[in-house]
Structure 1
């Protein structure tokens, strides 16, 4: 296959952005500039994604050993970000390398390989901290389950049900993908939180850029690019998602033993608490949609329930196995 230089200015600009991101950690201003360029014309996003996919599709030979990962159940703490890689001297180098990778990909398909997945899970009341072989960190919330597969040209996580915060080591050669329901989340190096419970998905970005798009085979096409302080909410099967500006620390508060809510229905609050404490908390239909705004410290289940009774017009009844919340009778 003969590879000729392209005269397409969009392809050239995409190659320059690709090399800049690959070479070093970008500043917030750089990320915003890249986002503005990607969103200004659909052709920009298509050109950039095409370059990125070339690196994902071609696996190195020999493959790295993915098996080394450590995990503990100690309290979770934020980690310092990984040191930036040395900047690339030639901005066109990544584009030429990507084109060469494409030629090699078609010429030598035997180089493509996959690795076995590792599974990590937590039970009720348990959190877990995981360090992957690439230096990425995952904090797994209670009653959650993920599988991780590190490949030479990509890093893939499946979050079937649960919540986790991610601090992804910067490596443009190996984008980080998270599959959650009918969505696929793609990052290079950033920090964000993902909650996938049932058919509901929420992605909150603390640092960097996160792309959220449809998973393969869904027939959907829209993609959202989130920057720091943005949150995406999606219901599985819906054609569109909702993006809003938020305080990202609310989404990460569970790592410090707190839950932060803003106009959340009581049924959602009770479901979250049931995963963190021994007793299941059930909510009667007459109280399920009561909105709750506040911060709950996860010190003791009985104390948390008393706070809910103080903050909301509800009353609690207790049995050995569960706690029931119902609307307080009007006087």
Structure 2
């Protein structure tokens, strides 16, 4: 489905939402829907994205009512998805929509603003940053990542607030170096390792040296050594495997290496490199497994390559939202 068609369908939906009592407009929409079944599908997708953003609830749109139809419409689905006249006065609707959009914008930026308040160092979309800490240790931050740092005479603590970071720790037996990431605590005295916080899981991979990983008072790994990787989804979903050293933190070279991973998890890895939100609307597609090497310097091409083996597609609904699903 072309981008022009989806944008046209969304435009029709917005116009109907603004003028629900306009019979002439609804008749025009019915005629447009009757032209091609692809128009009907585009309109249905526009309705889904309307529901996904929550604007339908914010606008207090009542349930659908009976809709006028084109007399000789070739398909029943061409009927206009009608909306009963709103209880609110029509002249108040634009102001209400503007308020809803403003509220959505606040919800969008509030977590980012709070993250900025919490962090000492952070990166924007597509940015990598190298940081030297007070003890000489180095941290490489990936795209859309953030850390806070707390050092004193007896401790060295870094919190990975979001994203991914590669740590090269200066040895200091008197002050172990600890990284807190969500529920886990990674402790070392001197080593190099990668930590990634994603929606689906948290991953620790060691390039050299040794690290201890704990969840509160429970030790998950007393010693991860070079090439070891620990993946944590929950307290009862912890896996450990081996990686070639050349594949640890390859994001620093602009690559994403995937070995027999679920598409849903791979999309989590790719999201920090894409603007806006990426929504997966097909759980069966998300459960499919892939293997490959993808170019993070062109994340849109990487996304297409990830979905292509299983006929997945990406629909761009707004500058802030893209939806992944299987091709119809």
Greater RCO between the two (CA within 8 Å, min separation 6)? 1
> What root-mean-square deviation, in Å, do the aligned CA atoms of Structure 1 and Structure 2 show?
2.3
| Structure 1 residues 257 and 328: alpha-carbon distance in aligned structure 2, compared to 1, 3 A threshold | same
Partner of 1:106: none
| Structure 1 residues 181 and 278: alpha-carbon distance in aligned structure 2, compared to 1, 3 A threshold | closer
Q: TM-score, normalised by structure 2?
A: 0.58
Displacement of 1:316: 2.9
Which of 295-304 and 179-188 deviates more?
295-304
Equivalent residues in 2 for 1:139-288 (5 A)?
139-198=140-199, 200-215=201-216, 219-236=217-234, 238-239=235-236, 241-285=238-282, 286-288=284-286
Partner of 1:307: 305
**Which blocks of at least 5 consecutive residues in structure 1 are unaligned?**
1-116
Displacement of 1:276: 0.6
| Structure 1 residues 290 and 118: alpha-carbon distance in aligned structure 2, compared to 1, 3 A threshold | closer
- What is the CA–CA distance in structure 1 between the aligned matches of 2:156 and 2:180, rounded to whole Å? 11
Is 2:213–2:219's contact at 8 Å kept on the other side of the alignment? no
* 1:317 alignment partner, SS class: strand
Is 1:270–1:282's contact at 8 Å kept on the other side of the alignment? no
* 1:272 alignment partner, SS class: helix
Partner of 1:103: none
| Structure 1 residues 310 and 325: alpha-carbon distance in aligned structure 2, compared to 1, 3 A threshold | same
Is 2:274–2:300's contact at 8 Å kept on the other side of the alignment? no
Q: TM-score, normalised by structure 1?
A: 0.57
Is 2:198–2:268's contact at 8 Å kept on the other side of the alignment? no
* 1:304 alignment partner, SS class: helix
The C-alpha deviation readout for 1:202-227, integer Å capped at 9, x for no partner, is: 11001001111233xxx535543101
Which of 188-197 and 244-253 deviates more?
244-253
- What is the CA–CA distance in structure 2 between the aligned matches of 1:206 and 1:246, rounded to whole Å? 9
- What is the CA–CA distance in structure 1 between the aligned matches of 2:286 and 2:247, rounded to whole Å? 22
Displacement of 1:291: 1.1
- What is the CA–CA distance in structure 1 between the aligned matches of 2:324 and 2:268, rounded to whole Å? 12
Q: Are 1:326 and 2:328 an aligned pair?
A: no
* 1:274 alignment partner, SS class: helix
Displacement of 1:283: 2.2
**Structure 1 or 2: larger helix share?**
2
* 1:288 alignment partner, SS class: helix
| Structure 1 residues 245 and 160: alpha-carbon distance in aligned structure 2, compared to 1, 3 A threshold | same
Is 1:230–1:248's contact at 8 Å kept on the other side of the alignment? no
Displacement of 1:314: 1.7
Number of paired residues? 209
* 2:161 alignment partner, SS class: strand
Is 1:177–1:186's contact at 8 Å kept on the other side of the alignment? yes
The C-alpha deviation readout for 1:229-278, integer Å capped at 9, x for no partner, is: 10111224x15732211124323111111111112221222233221122
**Which blocks of at least 5 consecutive residues in structure 2 are unaligned?**
1-117
Displacement of 1:196: 1.9
